[in-house]
Amino acid sequence: MRAALLAMALTVAPAAHAAEFGISVGALEVILLPLAHGGFYPYIGGSIGVPLVDRLTFIASLSIEYSFDQGRGGFVGVTTLDYALGERVGLDLNVAFIHDQPGLQFSQAQFFLGAGPGVTIYLGKFALSPFLNFFAGLTVPGASIVPGINLSRAF
């Protein structure tokens, strides 16, 4: 499925704009609702950015995260539509799917779906992106607010 989406995105992209691959690092704070600390999660991952039309880019990323204070970790898949307001700033719409489990205990995995806005500040091949997402549990009750920041480097 992911390969089919990537192939479709690459064929939709204008020929003058090639896809960009990137690596990213970041961190996020999970704030459970009602208000409680849910974990601090640093992460690392990879991404591909595909220009769709003038000033609009589709970015797909896959990261691995781990919360040392909660002893939980997992994978995060994110899709982002980035609309460039100019050479230095873009507005983002993020949709994310999170898998989170204690240690290596997949039988206790929890899954979450979230979305929210972000801003990207372009710094040459680097991009700094603060974001704020809202998540709902797919396999567990509850919701959370998740502010974070991402630093990526395109190749």
Residue 71 domain boundaries:
2-154
What's the pLDDT tens digit per position in 35-45?
A: 999 999 999 99
> Which three-class secondary structure state does DSSP give residue 108?
helix
Burial label for 28, CB within 10 Å (0-12, 13-18, 19+), is buried
What's the pLDDT tens digit per position in 60-74?
A: 999 999 999 999 999
What's the pLDDT tens digit per position in 5-18?
A: 444 444 444 444 68
Residue 5's pLDDT is: 41
Q: What domain count does the chain have? A: 1
> pTM for the full model?
0.86
What's the pLDDT tens digit per position in 53-112?
A: 999 999 999 999 999 999 999 999 999 999 999 999 999 999 999 999 999 999 999 999
CATH number, domain containing residue 141: 2.40.160.20
Lowest mean pLDDT among 8-12, 116-120, 144-148: 8-12
Question: Distance (Å, rounded) from C-alpha 48 to C-alpha 61?
Answer: 7
A 10 A CB-CB count for 86 gives: 8
Q: Are strands 126-137 and 89-102 parallel, antiparallel or unpaired?
A: unpaired
